[in-house]
Every structure is written in C-alpha cells, then in structure tokens.
Amino acid sequence: MPKFLARLLPQSLQGRLTLVMVIGVLLTQLVGNFIWAAQRRAEALSETGTAAQHLAHSASSAVRFFLSLPPNYRPLIIQQFREMGGTRFLVNINQAPVPARAIAGQELADAALKQVRATLKEDLPNISEVRLAFAWPDKLPVGDNGATIADLPDTWVQHIMLTKPAPVLLIQVEMDPGHWLYLATLMPNPYFLETGNPLTRDRLLLQALSLAAVLLLSIMVVRWITRPLAALSEAATAFGKGEHGPALPETGSREFVNTARAFEAMRQRIQRYIEDRERLFVSISHDLRTPIMRLKLRTELLDDEAMQSEFHDDLDELDMMVKGALQTVKDSDIHENPTEVRLDALLGRMVRDAQLAGHAVLFSASGLSVAAKPLALKRAIGNLLNNALHYGDKVELAVRERAGNIEIEVRDHGPGVPEAALAGLCEPYVRLEHGRSQNSSGMGLGLGIARGIVQAHGGELLLANAPGGGFRATIVLPGGAFVPL
C-alpha cells in the first residue's frame, strides 16, 4: 500500500506541497462544515419545536372557540371571518377528514408535527382524534366536496398563499361525529424546512469561491517558493554536463540566497580545480615526450643488444601511456554547445565509411533526434563502433525511444566478454586477452572515453553480452523535446 501511494504522489516538490495544501484546505472545510451543520441542525430543531408549540396553542384556542359554539352557528362565524379578510388559520368544517398528500422524509417537519400533537393533547385532553400533516399548497384540498385552495378567493387564503410556495400545516380535529374542524396555516417561519439543510446553493457557492481563492493563493505561494529550487536544479544539471551557464540570481528567501551563493562558490572552485588539473595533466604528458625521445636516442648507443631491447620496450610502453593520457584529455574535453543531432544522418555517415572499408554494418533509420554535443557524441559512438568492428564479424546499429530516453545500441557478433570482466571494461588501459591479439595497437581507452562523454550528457553507457552471442554496448541519453541553449 505505501508503494502504491508513493506512485500516486507527484514527484516534484511543488506538486507535493500543492497536494498537501489542497488536502489540508479541503479537510478544514469539511470538518468546519460538519461542525457548523451539526450546530445549525440543533438550532433549527429547537427553533422549530418552539414555533410549533406556540402555533399549537393558537390552534387549541381556535378549537375551543368552535367547540363552545352551537353546531349551526359555526358556519356563520366562519363566513364572517372570511368576509372580514380571514384569520391566521384557514378554517372550514367538513363531514370527514380531508386526505392530503403529506410531505414525508423531512426531519424538521416530523419534529414540528410531534410537538404540535403533544401540545394539542395537553391543551385538549377530551378530543378523540386529531390528524396532522404538512402539505404543499399546490392543489391542496380544503373541503370534502373536492374544493382546493386555488378555488377560494384570494382574501381567504392571503395568509397562506405566498409568492414562493411554503409547506402548509393541516390540523383536522373531530369536534363531534360528522363534524371535523379543518385548520390550515403556515409556520412562523414559512420556509423553516430550508433551515434543516445548511448546505444551500448560496452557501455552497460561497464555499466554492473561498476554496478556489485559498487554493489559488496556495499554489501561487508554492510556485514562488519552489521556483528558485528549480533554478538551482537546472544549474546543477547543466554544471554536471560541463555547461557554463549564468550565475544563479540571488533573489528570494534568505535561505535560497545563501544556497545560491554557496553553490556559485562551489562551482567556481570545482571549475578552477578541473582546469588546473587538466592543464597540469596535459603539460606533464606533453613535457614527458621530449625526455622519452632523448632516452630512445641514447639507447641506440648501448652496445649490449639485450639491454638495448629492454630499454626500447620500457620506453615504448611509457610513450604509449603518455599518448594515451593526451588522447584521453583530447577526446573527453570537447568544448562545444549542445544542439539538435539527427541520429540518422550522424550514424548513416559512420555506417557508410565502415562499409566502404569492407565491414558488414547494418543500420535502420529511426527518425529520432537528441540534444547533444555533435562531435563528442560522434567520438563516443565511433569508439564503440571501432571496438565492434575489431572484435566482431558483423555489427548492428539500432536507435529507439524507450521510457522517454533515446537508446543507441551497437552490437557485434564476436566472442563476447567474460561476465567477470564486464565491471572493469571502462577502466583505462584494461584490455582482454582476445582484444590484445586482434588489435595490438589499441590502448584500452575507448570505452572509458565513451563512458565519460555519455555521462557528461547526463546519460549512461550499458555494457552486456548479447543474447545469442556477441557483445552489446548501449548509450542511453535523456530524450524529450530539444531546447536550444
């Protein structure tokens, strides 16, 4: 599970900081909304219960008033109330309870009905049956003759019919057999059901706007913080490839300014050390050639031929080492700017030259390009190709793109290399037995030079025995779109 989560996490520092801040803000919003919704729910239940209790007391008073009237006077009183403009309750008398489509599944409505029923039972203990319900005013029946609220004059229902429909509380009380008192009214807060849903559209919109603003600011802050680190990473990568880029800007936080200064000082020290070492190495190697030549001339004056031969062998070996040192510096330290290299054109020329010399070389065009130093890359591939031509009967060149990288493979069909010797092949002056017998003029520097060039490009040189026989050298270079430097 941790490995799976690690694969899901962004790889960049900016992505991880952004993800942590987004999750933190979302969790804070969710917890805050949960606590606020719980408080609002408790407040809504309390307010609804209090309002339902007051409304039930008013309904009890109305029921007691009609109970005190003779049955034949009740319709007259109701008609007088209607002509006066109505009352808080829409009142009617029916022979049976009127069925209405009740609102179901509403916690606040159920709580209000429970409180009304309890209050009516307390105020009117002698009432035999009470029917309560909340219903929407649309096509709400008011009489057992099928009449609805829409059929009544506006003056009768002005306290119930609002511009925005609100749930209507129906109270039907059996006063005596065949006489049911019908009371319809609104709660003190007509839209009390909406208070039970704290996440209204307006609040959700406000929450979304505030969340978007916080996330936008968080992402901007994270980018502002991590941008200097990206510049530092690019400068370190360029320096590792031997490129001389501009100095890091000393802007941003105090910690980054100190880091930039320390990195710049380190880069200058390393650069001076490398330049001094190269100059010293080249000077020593160059200066040694003169005394070696003088010693060879003096060796000719020796009378002892055996001694003369031994001196010649030692001086030839020393001369070869000096030439190898000069070649290593010359081949590895190629100062040029990276550019877009079309691999088909580069390898095509090398293949044609080898074929003109009588070698069997196979190559298929790939259409791929890579950002590299052309001469240095040619020198690295040339060293691998020369080795393959010396030790194999046939050579195959292949270029492919894999996992975002460019791979250049040089394979020969020679005897291969013992597995135990693979790890030390790139070391200077390392030559295997069959290599010395087939190429006596070599010095064992080609693979080391090729590896150094490839590593300077940020790549890797892979050496292995090929399946089915032969040896395979693969140059792996970072791919992606070419960006001029």
Encode pLDDT of 281-310 as tens digits: 666 666 677 777 777 777 777 777 778 787
Give phi and psi for 428, each to the nearest 5.
-60, 140
For the ranges 157-161, 165-169, 399-403, the lowest mean pLDDT is seen at: 157-161
- What was the pLDDT predicted at 480? 54
Q: Find all residues with CB under 8 Å of 81, minimum gap 6, and list them.
A: 87, 91
The string of DSSP letters for 15-76 reads HHHHHHHHHHHHHHHHHHHHHHHHHHHHHHHHHHHHHHHHHHHHHHHHHHHHHTS-TTTHHH
**Structural domains present in the chain:** 15-196 (no CATH), 232-333 (1.10.287.130), 337-478 (3.30.565.10)
- What was the pLDDT predicted at 119? 93
pTM of the predicted protein model: 0.46
Is the CA virtual torsion 63, 68, 69, 71 positive or negative?
A: positive
Alpha helices in 68-174 (DSSP H): 74-83, 107-123, 154-157
- Bridge partners (DSSP) of residue 460 are 476
SS3 for 216-245 is: HHHHHHHHHHHHHHHHHHHHHHHHHCCCCC
For the ranges 175-179, 196-200, 385-389, the lowest mean pLDDT is seen at: 196-200
- What was the pLDDT predicted at 485? 36
pLDDT bin (cut points 50, 70, 90) of residue 408 is: very high
What secondary structure letter does DSSP report for 470? S
Alpha carbon 480 to its chain's center: 20
pLDDT bin (cut points 50, 70, 90) of residue 475 is: very high
| Residue type (1 letter), 361 | V
Among 5-19, 108-122, 279-293, 362-376, top mean pLDDT goes to: 108-122
Which one has a higher pLDDT value, 273 or 389? 389
Alpha carbon 2 to its chain's center: 17
Q: Find all residues with CB under 8 Å of 86, minimum gap 6, and list them.
A: 155, 156, 157, 158, 159
pLDDT bin (cut points 50, 70, 90) of residue 481 is: very low
Is the CA virtual torsion 101, 104, 106, 110 positive or negative?
A: positive
The span from the CA of 439 to the CA of 117, in Å, is 109
Count other Cβ atoms within 10 Å, centred on residue 169.
24
Which one has a higher pLDDT value, 34 or 330? 34
Asked whether the predicted pLDDT for residue 438 surpasses 60, the reply is no
Region 84-97 average pLDDT: 81
Q: By percentage, how much of the chain surpasses pLDDT 90?
A: 12
Element (H, E) at 271: helix 254-299
Region 148-171 average pLDDT: 80
Average pLDDT, the chain: 80
What secondary structure letter does DSSP report for 141? B
Asked whether the predicted pLDDT for residue 434 surpasses 60, the reply is no
pLDDT bin (cut points 50, 70, 90) of residue 484 is: very low
| Cα angle value 433/438/443 (rounded, 5°) | 70
Region 458-483 average pLDDT: 80
Asked whether the predicted pLDDT for residue 10 surpasses 60, the reply is yes
Region 235-246 average pLDDT: 72
- What was the pLDDT predicted at 439? 52
| Residue type (1 letter), 133 | A
Which one has a higher pLDDT value, 259 or 411? 411
- What was the pLDDT predicted at 446? 75
pLDDT bin (cut points 50, 70, 90) of residue 406 is: very high
| Residue type (1 letter), 397 | L
- What was the pLDDT predicted at 312? 76
- What was the pLDDT predicted at 483? 39
- What was the pLDDT predicted at 374? 85
Inter-CA distances, 238 with 127, 225, 235, 261, Å: 93, 22, 5, 17
pLDDT bin (cut points 50, 70, 90) of residue 201 is: confident
Structure-token match 């030549």, residue found: 293
For the ranges 9-23, 36-50, 55-69, 341-355, the lowest mean pLDDT is seen at: 9-23
| Cα angle value 94/99/104 (rounded, 5°) | 140
Give phi and psi for 337, each to the nearest 5.
-90, 145
The span from the CA of 82 to the CA of 89, in Å, is 10
Q: By percentage, how much of the chain surpasses pLDDT 70?
A: 83
Asked whether the predicted pLDDT for residue 267 surpasses 50, the reply is yes
pLDDT bin (cut points 50, 70, 90) of residue 85 is: low
